[in-house]
Structure 1
Amino acid sequence: MEFSRCLYIISEALAKDDLAALKFLSLEHIPLRKQEAIQEPKAFFQALQEKGLIDVGNLAFLKELFYRINRMDILANHLDSSREEMERELQIPGRAKVSPFRYLLFQLSENITSEELKCFKFLLGKELPKSKLNTENTMIDVFIEMEKKGILGEDNLKVLKTLCDKVDKSLVKKIEEYELNLCGEEEMLITEGQTKSSGEGCPEKSSGFTSGLLVQQLEVYKMTSRPRGVCLILNNHNFARARAEVAELKMRDRNGTDVDAAALKKVFSKLHFKIAEYKDLTAKEIRNVVNIYQGEDHKDKDCFVCCILSHGKKGIIYGVDGQEVPIQELTTSFTGRNCRSLAGKPKVFFVQACQGDARQKGVNIEVDSGEQDSSVETDGRFQLDCIPSEADFLLGMATLQDYVSYRSPSQGTWYIQSLCQHLENSCPRGEDILTILTAVNQEVSRKIDKQNAGKQMPQPSFTLRKKLIFPVN
């Protein structure tokens, strides 16, 4: 009964696209003829049971399927597993039941935009019946029809590569990586504990001894939805209430923060994010706003960005009432467990706030610290607590633990201004976010508060599994 109830609960959490993906990845085990009659998840699970692929105490294939389609929330909440566990399991020879070919096609389908899908259908106009190329058919449907027609198969990728070359050359690279790794697996000769490649039969293979399977290039997060997602900006400027209610903090207004907010709105609008700015929030209001976006359905979005501009100290930010909000509380609100529609998708946080009191004051430079007379904190490592252990998070902090971050009342903060400039210059070139943040680190670290020789070093922390690139087009 518990097993059946588990399957029922999972089936209720699946969308139409999820079911289509699960069926497609199972085609080597459940033939298309039988799949055509399956229109709901419960029937799919029944088919898996009839084939002996799942049963009480045997959920390995089910776990693999949900891992493959990036439903980490179901893995964690209902199957007592995790991304890390599945990655370890699937490295064991013979454990994976989804064929590399099938998984390749699924990955390609996830990276093909709606416009590119139209191109595929147009180019296949003479190969496939028009009824199979209507607007409702997905890329998975197209792949299935290509297989039926005999122009696509595990050893027949020529037509697919030709199509991808005309539509998006990056897709060709993914196919070539698959072919190269397949050749590597098939032609590695194991002799006396050494691994040697025969060097024959596979293009672009290196000869001689290798350390094992060829290393794949990192995958790239899907970033094709319009809008890409929400860019939430929490912009705290006026701290008069904090000065009145928590006098000992002596918080000044954050002049210049609106310059930062304007720069963030400009660059993330260009990157096709929907901007949502909230100004001068108390700690309670910050929590309320975060709860709103935690509860939204991000199913049709590829990413979530949150930019926090406020006073702070190690591991916390301040509301305009001088009350504290732990950064960890904000980030963990968007884990796969707490916000299921963002499971497997990148969650990006940029925090412009001090993380301590160690500072030197300049003439026209202010610091984003709420306190002026407290002692310097020197223990602990805030970033280990602020960023969730779950995958797919990026936390960009303006400064290291224990230190202040600098802000010009007229030009904005060193960190946010540098970040926006590098995003605007580098995203059109296709550079990934970690490369961009490294350049930001370099630029900000070179700046100096000449009056007091003050310096600043930003710090990114992340659990990203793929390259994160924000396409401009």
Structure 2
Amino acid sequence: MEFSRHLFSISEALATDDLAALKFLSLEHIPLKKQEAIQDPKAFFQALQEKALVSDGDQAFLKELLYRINRVDILVSHLGSSREEMERELRIPGRAKVSPFRYLLFQLSENITTEELKCFKFLLGKELPKSKLNTENTMIDVFTEMEKKGILREDNLKVLKSLCEKVDKSLVKKIEEYELSLCGEEEMLCTEGQSSSVILGVTAGHTRQLASFLAPDSPARHCASSQLEVYKMTSRPRGVCLILNNHNFERNGAEVAGHKLKDRKGTDVDAAALSKVFSKLHFKIAEHKDLTAKEIHNVVKKYQNEDHKDKDCFVCCILSHGKKGIIYGVDGQEVPIQELTTYFTGQNCHSLAGKPKVFFVQACQGDARQQGVVIEVDSTGQDSSVETDGRLQPDFIPSEADFLLGMATLQDYVSYRSPSHGSWYIQSLCQHLENSCPRGEDILTILTAVNEEVSRKLDKQNAGKQMPQPSFTLRKKLIFPVN
């Protein structure tokens, strides 16, 4: 009786969408025909008990289901578990009961927007009955109908991949990760001394034993294809996007070697663009303007000492004058770039260990102006006059993993900034992030596109060119989802 009251309390905390997700993830255990009669969570829990999937002494499947649908709040408050406990449990081979195939489909449904759902329904117009594609049907409903029709199975993802290719390529990457995880299991069987006949005997029906491969940070998933692993990027907010924006140097009387540092006109345009795009990518924006060298250290130390355990990433954008290896505070004092990045190593900032730390720096790396043969000039809407920002070294990131440093230009060369439209590099970066992140492009692919665009621009007055340069110690693909 006590356990029944416990299930009743949980059922009261579940929403309609939660019930649909729970039913979908349980299809391998509770047939669709029986599920059609289930209209509330209490009836669903009754069905689980009848199948001996949940009892007073065994709540593992219930915990897994709540974890899979991201109801960690219920997991904690009603079942005394946690996200960390479930992640450990699901790494144990054979412990998971949710089919990896089923969980893949659920994850895809969670990442599909309303507009993308409309596209899926349109593309399936000739495959499924119109009555099954009305506006009320969810993506889970569509997947269920595709399975009924026989065009979607564990061993046949061809149609699904084709649809995702047309709608959102980032969804294709999730499917490929799933396929690679299954290949990874076969490789592990082989290394454990299994015969080839056993490996060949791993059929679609056996793949539901591989659910642990879809658990976050599963060692088996890492074994499957490390080069295609993707950093976890699901927290809300994703993390902090710290913007250090130094504009006013003249009023502070900043001088270097007897030369006065000019105000950085156009930098506020860059800061606004960065704030806009990283807000869309679900980062918490923290902009600090016109900092002295000491204030820069203090601000960065503040974020070093914050607890980032519930965040997936840290981004720092530096907009200032500089020279080799340093940036300037508005007081003209030097701040070594390496000191700023080193604050966030795993040793110095434990809660960011294993997570990507991204730095974008708008500054020159030298005084030389890069010359080149102009193939095509993209100068629409730009001022004919541009300014430069001192110089900066390209490799001032720690040697340990999970860092990315995006530099505005190559070593020894200037970078350009329009007083009215912002810098070439930051404006191109923000535009490509805004256009490419919804398509699931990873950051290195995006930065390559930024390189291509900026390299085509031309400082007409001095025939100067610019080529950005990323350096990194990332271990996985870094993708910023917009959903």
For the aligned pair, the TM-score class normalised by the smaller chain equals: 0.5 to 0.7
Distance 1:435 1:305 in 2: 18
The AA in structure 2 aligned to 1:404 is V
How far apart are the structure 2 equivalents of 1:154 and 1:445? 52
Q: State the match for 1:366 in structure 2.
A: 387
- Identify if the C-alpha distance between structure 1 residues 284 and 161 changes in structure 2 by more than 3 Å, giving closer, same or farther: same
**8 Å CA contact 1:313, 1:355 repeated in 2:** yes
Q: Deviations over 1:352-402 (max 9, x none)?
A: 0111111389951111128xxxxxxxxxx9333x01001000000001111
Does 2:201 correspond to 1:201?
yes
Change (3 A) 1:200 1:455: same
The change in CA–CA distance for 1:244 and 1:341 in structure 2 (over 3 A counts) is closer
Residue 461 (structure 1) aligned to one of 456, 471, 482: 471
Shift of 1:452: 1.4
Q: Deviations over 1:260-314 (max 9, x none)?
A: 0000000000001111111111111111111111111111111000000001112
Cα shift at 1:429: 0.4
Query: Cα distance, 1:315 vs. partner?
Result: 1.3
Contact between 1:399 and 1:405, CA under 8 Å: does it hold in 2? yes
Letter in 2 for 1:332: T
Amino acid paired to 1:366:
E
Cα distance, 1:216–1:238 mapped onto 2, change above 3 Å:
closer
Is the 2:180–2:225 contact (alpha carbons within 8 Å) kept by the matching residues of 1?
A: no
Q: 1:32-51 counterparts in 2 under 5 A?
A: none
Q: Matches of 1:342 and 1:172 in 2, distance apart? A: 28
Corresponding residue for residue 180 of structure 1: 183
Change (3 A) 1:119 1:310: farther
Alignment of 1:9-408 (within 5 A): 121=22, 123-124=25-26, 125=44, 126-127=47-48, 128-129=53-54, 132-133=62-63, 134-136=74-76, 137-138=81-82, 154=94, 159-168=99-108, 173-187=176-190, 200-202=200-202, 217-241=227-251, 243=253, 246=256, 248-359=258-369, 364-369=385-390, 382-384=393-395, 386-408=396-418
Distance 2:318 2:236 in 1: 23
Q: Distance in 1 between matches of 2:87 and 2:389?
A: 54
Q: Could you give the per-residue CA deviations for residues 425-449 of structure 1, whole angstroms, max 9, x where no partner exists?
A: 0000010000000000000001011
**Number of the residue aligned with 1:54:** none
Judge conservation of contact 2:186–2:199 (CA < 8 Å) in 1: no
1:367 match: secondary structure: coil
| Residue in 1 that maps onto 2:458 | 448
**Equivalent AA in structure 1 for residue 336 of structure 2:** P
Q: 1:118 to 1:367 in 2, by over 3 A?
A: farther
TM-score (norm 2): 0.61
Distance in 2 (CA, whole Å) between partners of 1:436 and 1:290 is 26
Do the aligned partners of residues 452 and 196 (structure 1) sit closer, same or farther apart at CA in structure 2, a change above 3 Å counting? farther
Q: 1:232 to 1:142 in 2, by over 3 A?
A: closer
Distance in 2 of aligned mates of 1:227 and 1:345: 14
For residue 160 of structure 1, report the CA deviation from its aligned partner.
Answer: 3.6
Other structure's SS at 1:135 match: helix
Instruction: Please say if residues 235 and 308 of structure 1, whose CA atoms lie closer than 8 Å, have aligned partners that are also in contact.
Output: yes
Does the Cα contact within 8 Å between 2:404 and 2:472 map onto a contact in 1? Answer: yes
Q: Pairwise mapping of residues 428-447 of structure 1 onto structure 2 (< 5 A)? A: 428-447=438-457
Q: Distance in 2 between matches of 1:336 and 1:311?
A: 28
- 1:450 Cα deviation (Å)? 1.4
Q: Is the Cα–Cα contact under 8 Å of residues 313 and 357 in structure 2 kept in the other structure?
A: yes
How many residue pairs were aligned? Answer: 332
Instruction: Report sequence identity in percent.
Output: 66
For 2:306 and 2:88, how far apart are their aligned partners in 1? 33
Deviation at 1:404, TM superposition (A): 0.8
The runs of 5 or more residues in structure 2 that have no matched partner are: 1-15, 27-43, 64-73, 109-170, 205-222, 372-382
1:40-91: CA deviation from partner (whole Å, max 9, x where unpaired): xxxxxxxxxxxxxxxxxxxxxxxxxxxxxxxxxxxxxxxxxxxxxxxxxxxx
Residue identity matched to 1:265: S
- CA contact 1:418–1:440 (8 Å) conserved in 2: yes
Partner SS state of residue 184, structure 1: helix
Write the letter of the residue equivalent to 1:293. Y
Q: Which letter maps to 2:331?
A: D
Q: Deviations over 1:160-198 (max 9, x none)?
A: 4223323337666544323312323445899xxxx9999
**Given the superposition, is the C-alpha separation of residues 183 and 357 from structure 1 closer, same or farther in structure 2, using an over 3 Å criterion?**
same
Residue of structure 1 equivalent to 2:420 = 410
Q: Which residue type is aligned with residue 316 of structure 1?
A: I
Residues in 2 aligned to 1:215 and 1:246: alpha-carbon distance in whole angstroms: 50
Shift of the alpha carbon at 1:241?
A: 4.8
CA distance in 2, matches of 1:202, 1:135: 33
- Contact kept? 2:425, 2:450, Cα under 8 Å: yes
C-alpha contact 2:185 2:224 (8 A) present in aligned 1: no
Deviates more, 1:340-349 or 1:354-363: 354-363
Aligned counterparts of 2:19 and 2:443: Cα–Cα separation in 1: 29
**CA pair 215-284 structure 1, distance change in 2 beyond 3 A:** closer
